[in-house]
Amino acid sequence: MPKVTYIEGKEPDEREHRLIFRNIDRKGWNPSLKKYLSDGGYKALEKSLQMEPGEVTQEVKQSGLRGRGGAGFPTGVKWGFIPPGNKKPVYLICNCDESEPGTFKDRYIVHQDPHQLIEGMVISCFAVGAKLAYIYIREEFPEAARIVENAIKEARKAGFLGEKICGSDFSCEFYVHRGAGAYICGEETGLIESLEGKRPYPRIKPPYFPAAMGLYMCPTIVNNVETLCHVKHIIEMGGDSYAEIGTPRNTGTRILCVSGDVQKPGYYEIEVGKMTMGELLNDVCGGPLEGRTFKAVIPGGSSAKILRCSDTYNVSCPPGTDKREITFDEIPLDFDTMAACGSMAGSGGVIVMDDSRRMSWVLNNINEFYAHESCGQCTPCREGSTWMKKITDRLVAGKASPADLDTLESVAYQIDGKTICAFGEACSWPVEGMIDKFRDELLTDTAEDHAAVTRNPEQKAQRRYLKGVGAQVGSS
């Protein structure tokens, strides 16, 4: 069986706008340098080396690029946070710890098109003045680590990396650093601690903003894989031309990862804000499964609050105009409207649930993830994430009392905003969102006759599992 997903010649949907994913599944494509060069590779790097580092940063600022890792923070602005007159070494870290449930875009870039990432990274290193960069790859991508290390070797040999890159005065070196299966390493300060060889306990901001006090207490820029790839295209086409893709304040393309109950799950690269939720799910993804209807969608990775498909949303659409009522299908896929709808575009992981799913089961699955992944540094999160899981264990087992839902909600609000890093929000938002939208359903799940939960075979399997391991089902 193949180790790398590669569906040769799989055509993108005609409504897609492929920039970053142009070479993904492309016929005759492979991750070698030779292939990349034959397609005009490393031209953007050569172009950038003719510019001043400040000009490169300026192009990125003008492009309006917002980070694709989850927070959506403007990349150029982040780069600008390096203290002026800094004398310490500057580091760049590529965050390839892709671990937000529902997100699977970086996987394909590092497996199939590693040189695009390396080119984007060298340009970024040049812009911020970094001479050493690390690519932090999650442990669960062993093949990707090998592919990227090989690509680094190829690039070094060809003079795109190492001493005096492309004959210029700029030198820089890259290494792969593999994680070890911890979600918290996707948080930038946790990642830095991990890279320093410690437990990845996130640092508190302020004062530990990585751009000022990052790796080894030196200025450090941490960017997502997809973000760094965009830098290459921004230099190639110029910041202003890039900004014409997508919509104002939500520029460029982004890769949406659709999974769950749809006909055609997968990765789709679209212009930000130019496609609606309805177009994505019904047209591009082929609609719900046979005989089913869409019930709810988590639009930006499992920590985003859930949206109910039957709701209307009172938002400014397009952003900047007067508020109006729009249906779920009309929500444009951008950062700002998604936030106005009460959720977030996050990492672009769209998880779809149809009417066969019981929300207590969904929430319990999410809670188990966060209970497992809390790093344990802050008490509200360490204790709270496990409490929330224990309560939803009872919901799923049909052994909860109506008061449990209030307890669940109260625990969530006592974590949210009270922890060092954003994991507190990541684990409490799904709970808050679910109770907000599906309180009635969750309440019926607390009733004695809990027949509906076993409607899905998978749900049955999970219930069997919960019983089998003697998890805290109804134990308190």
Q: Which residues of the chain form contacts with other proteins (CB under 8 A)?
A: 1, 3-5, 98-104, 106-107, 132, 138-143, 175, 177-183, 194-200, 216, 257-261, 265-267, 302, 349, 351, 353, 357, 362, 365-366, 368-369, 371-373, 375, 457-458, 461-462, 464-465, 468-471
Q: Alpha helices of 302-401 — where are they, by DSSP H?
A: 335-340, 359-373, 379-397
Q: Which is nearer to other proteins, 371 or 431 (CB)?
A: 371
Distance in Å, CB of 53 to other proteins, minimum: 22
CB of 134 to other proteins, least distance (A): 8
CA distances from 125 to 66, 91, 140, 209 (A): 18, 8, 26, 18
DSSP secondary structure code for residue 202 in this structure: P
Q: Report yes or no: 284 and 13 within 8 Å, Cβ to Cβ.
A: yes
Q: Which is nearer to other proteins, 36 or 369 (CB)?
A: 369
Measure the CA–CA gap between 164 and 170, rounded to whole angstroms.
5
* Residue whose CB is less far from other proteins, 327 or 356: 356
Give min distance, CB of 413 to other proteins, in A.
23
Structure tokens at 243: 């900004």
Residue 373 neighbours by CB under 8 Å, 6+ apart = 182, 183, 184, 423
- Residue closer to other proteins by CB (options 56, 277) is 277
Q: How far is the CB of 133 from other proteins (least distance, A)?
A: 11
Cβ(190)–Cβ(97) under 8 Å?
no
- State which amino acid sits at residue 191: L
Neighbours of 225 (CB within 10 A): 29
Residue given tokens 């203290």 in the structure block: 83
Smallest distance from the beta carbon of 248 to other proteins, in angstroms? 30
Cβ atoms 330, 453 nearer than 8 A? no
- Using the minimum distance from each CB to other proteins, give the nearer residue, 131 or 324: 131
The vertex-352 CA angle with 346 and 356, nearest 5°, equals: 150
Spatial separation of the C-alpha atoms in residues 423 and 426, rounded to whole Å: 5
Long-range contacts of 5-8 (CB under 8 A, 24+ apart): 5/107, 5/108, 5/111, 6/111, 6/112
Of the pair 106, 409, the CB lying nearest other proteins is at 106
Query: Residue 279 Cβ, how far from other proteins at the closest point, in Å?
Result: 18
147 three-state secondary structure: helix
Shorter beta-carbon distance to other proteins: residue 79 or 268 = 268
* 393, two tokens: 């264990």
Least Å from the CB of residue 7 to other proteins: 10
Q: How far is the CB of 196 from other proteins (least distance, A)?
A: 6
Minimum CB–partner distance for residue 381 and other proteins (Å): 15
Q: CB-based contacts of 156: which residues, under 8 Å, 6+ apart? A: 162
Phi and psi at residue 160, to the nearest 5° = -90, 0
Between 301 and 319, whose beta carbon lies closer to other proteins?
301
CB-wise, 102 or 342, nearer to other proteins? Answer: 102
